[in-house]
Structure formats: C-alpha cells, structure tokens
C-alpha cells in the first residue's frame, strides 16, 4: 500500500535529523557499522553485537507477523516511508535493533577500553532514543510499538548477557558450529510465519540471519586456522586520535566496504540468475522473486557470502595490503 498523503516540511532540522536517525536502523547502517567494529575495534565486541543483533531482530520480526498489530492510520499521521508500510507495527524492530546494538556495544566495550562510563551510557541512550523518535516522526509506529520494541530488546539483552562468554566460546571452538550456523537459520527462514499477503519481513529476516550465519562461520574459521588478524589494542577509543591511526582506520574501512558491496552485487546477480533459470522467470519479475523458494535462498546465500567475506577475506586483504 503506497502513501499518497501530501505533506509540507516546516522544520528541516527535525526532518533530516529523524530521516537520518531512521537510517540507523536499516541495512545501510548494519552493513557499515558492524563490519567497521570487526575491522577497527575488537573481534570479541563485534561477535557479541552480531549475535545479539541477529537474535533480537529474528524475535522482533516474527513477533510482528504473529501479533499482526496494524501500523498507525494515515491520516491522521503522515507517513514518510513507503517500503515498510506493508509490515505490521508491533514491536518496532528499529527500536529493538537500536537498543540491542547501542547497549551491547556499550556493555562489551566498557570493561575493555578506558572511557568514562557515563559517556558510554549517554551515547547508547541518545543513539537508541533518536532511532525510536524517528519512527514516531516518520509516522511508521505508535508510541506503544516503540516502547514495546525497546523493552523487548532490553529484556533479551539482560537474558543473553550472562551467556555471552559461553555462546562466544562455543561459536569459536565447537566442531559443529559451521553446520549449526547454516542449518538453524535456514530452517527458521523456511518456516517463517505465513501471511495472507506479501510482507518484506521474511526477506529482511533472511538477510539478517544469512549475514549472521556467514559471519559466524568466518569467526569459527579464523579461530581454527588463522591467528587473530587484529589485536584488541589496534584501536583504542579516545581523543586525540593521531593522523596515522585515522588513515589506517579509514583505509581498512574503505577497502572492506568496497569488497562487501562488490560481493553483495556479484552474489545477488549470480544466485538470482541461477534461480531464474531453475524456476523459469525473468530476473525483473518482482512477484517471482518474492516466492519462498526464490527469496530465501537468494537472500540467504547473498548475505551469508557478505558476512563470510567481511570476517575472513577482508582481514586477509588488509594484511596483504599492510593495513594492520
């Protein structure tokens, strides 16, 4: 359903602030920030964030399609987004992701790096609050949706935190980790709750679980067959940052993101091409690409490849280029 209601922007500061904040809960943020932490901050921090993010997002997406609470009516609200309007509203997965990522990053780094506790807590609170408020401003969620999403995410963080070290150890050392990391997400994707009409939630869930699966296999392989690419002291948050440090940080990020985006484009084209040949549909047939037998393998293979490249191939490339 498209949004046809016209609107006039009267405050461009709020408009661009909350449009930008909304993007902090979408793929463009995940595909940049999560790899950035792996390449430039700390492997253990990145692992914990990715695992928490994938669990929280899966529960949030499934909850939407089980509860089936509608989004706010327009009018009276003005909706500034189109794509997610087809999804149900409760809980807000933007609020869940923002809360999970910001506070898991804060919790994972507070004991490893020297920075003021109050500053880290305030940064996590401001980040998650901006994303939550953006969902109200853009007309995509009610206050209850946002509060519910943030609370569910907080509860899951509290429940997962005591098991962080155990889960991390198993993912790095268990011989069954690669099989578990691929099979379980695939089963969850293929058995996603069915709706009476198409919603992007299943595709988005497959994207998230695929990326986490590829990254998890990468974590395991790195621990089994390669020395850690970056010591935990490779980048210490704090000021002032030296020019040489910033150059290496930006170089690692630029090289990595180019590889990640190229991988996504190549794998998407290849997998869609093979599936189009198998099921006899043109690549531009959007309805065909939404079918279960097409959407799940195409997105899972594409994004698991992205996760694997980001955690295995990109670090090797960094080492080859002397960027460590």
Q: Is residue 1 part of a domain?
A: no
Q: Is residue 3 part of a domain?
A: no
pLDDT for 233: 43
* 220 vs 79 pLDDT, higher one: 220
141 catalytically annotated: yes
Is the predicted pLDDT of residue 303 greater than 90, yes or no? yes
pLDDT for 302: 94
pLDDT for 314: 92
pLDDT for 254: 92
Predicted model pTM: 0.84
Number of domains in the chain: 1
Is the predicted pLDDT of residue 265 greater than 90, yes or no? yes
Identify the band that residue 151 occupies on the pLDDT scale cut at 50, 70 and 90. Answer: very high
Residues 6+ apart with CB under 8 A from 222: 43, 228, 229, 311, 312, 315
* 216 vs 26 pLDDT, higher one: 216
State which residues form the domain around 166. Answer: 12-321
* 116 vs 6 pLDDT, higher one: 116
Mean pLDDT computed over 116-141: 87
**Do 161 and 107 touch, CB atoms closer than 8 A?**
yes
pLDDT for 212: 93
Collapsed DSSP state (helix, strand, coil) of residue 282? coil
pLDDT for 165: 85
Is the predicted pLDDT of residue 11 greater than 70, yes or no? yes
48-93 tens-digit pLDDT: 899 999 999 999 999 988 888 888 777 777 777 766 666 777 898 8
CA 225 – CA 135 distance, rounded (Å): 43
CA 99 – CA 247 distance, rounded (Å): 30
Q: Is residue 7 part of a domain?
A: no
Mean pLDDT computed over 162-168: 87
Is the predicted pLDDT of residue 108 greater than 80, yes or no? yes
Q: Is residue 289 part of a domain?
A: yes
Q: What is the mean pLDDT of the chain?
A: 84
Write down the catalytic residue from 43, 94, 169, 318: 94
Identify the band that residue 41 occupies on the pLDDT scale cut at 50, 70 and 90. Answer: confident
Q: Is residue 132 part of a domain?
A: yes
Q: Is residue 34 part of a domain?
A: yes
- For 151, phi then psi, to 5°, come to -70, -40
First to last CA, the chain: 48
**Do 33 and 49 touch, CB atoms closer than 8 A?**
no
169 catalytically annotated: no
Identify the band that residue 241 occupies on the pLDDT scale cut at 50, 70 and 90. Answer: low
Mean pLDDT computed over 17-32: 83
Q: Is residue 208 part of a domain?
A: yes
Q: Is residue 264 part of a domain?
A: yes
pLDDT for 141: 83
């Amino acid at each position: 359903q498209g949004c046809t209601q016209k609107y006039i922007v009267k405050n461009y500061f709020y408009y661009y602030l909350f449009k930008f904040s909304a993007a902090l809960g979408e793929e463009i943020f995940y595909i940049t920030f999560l790899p950035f932490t792996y390449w430039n901050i700390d492997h253990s921090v990145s692992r914990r964030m990715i695992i928490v993010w994938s669990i929280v997002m899966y529960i949030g997406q499934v909850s939407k399609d089980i509860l089936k609470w509608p989004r706010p009516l327009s009018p009276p609200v003005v909706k500034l987004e189109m794509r997610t309007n087809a999804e149900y509203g409760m809980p807000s997965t933007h609020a869940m992701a923002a809360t999970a990522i910001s506070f898991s990053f804060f919790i994972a780094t507070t004991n490893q790096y020297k920075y003021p506790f109050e500053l880290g807590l305030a940064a996590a609170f401001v980040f998650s609050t901006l994303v939550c408020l953006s969902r109200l401003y853009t007309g995509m969620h009610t206050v209850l949706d946002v509060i519910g999403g943030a609370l569910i995410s907080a509860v899951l963080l509290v429940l997962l935190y005591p098991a962080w070290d155990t889960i991390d150890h198993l993912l790095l050392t268990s011989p069954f980790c690669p099989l578990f990391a691929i099979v379980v997400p695939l089963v969850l994707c293929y058995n996603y709750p069915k709706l009476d009409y198409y919603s992007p939630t299943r595709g988005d869930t497959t994207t998230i679980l695929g990326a986490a699966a590829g990254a998890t296999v990468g974590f395991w392989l790195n621990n089994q067959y390669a020395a850690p690419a970056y010591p935990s002291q490779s980048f210490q948050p704090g000021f002032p940052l030296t020019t040489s440090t910033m150059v290496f940080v930006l170089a690692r990020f630029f090289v990595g993101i180019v590889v990640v985006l190229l991988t996504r484009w190549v794998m998407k084209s290849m997998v869609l091409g093979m599936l189009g040949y198998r099921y006899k549909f043109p690549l531009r047939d959007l309805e065909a690409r939404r079918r279960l037998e097409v959407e799940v393998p195409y997105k899972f293979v594409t994004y698991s490849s992205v996760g694997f490249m980001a955690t295995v191939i990109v670090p090797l490339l960094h080492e080859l280029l002397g960027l460590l």
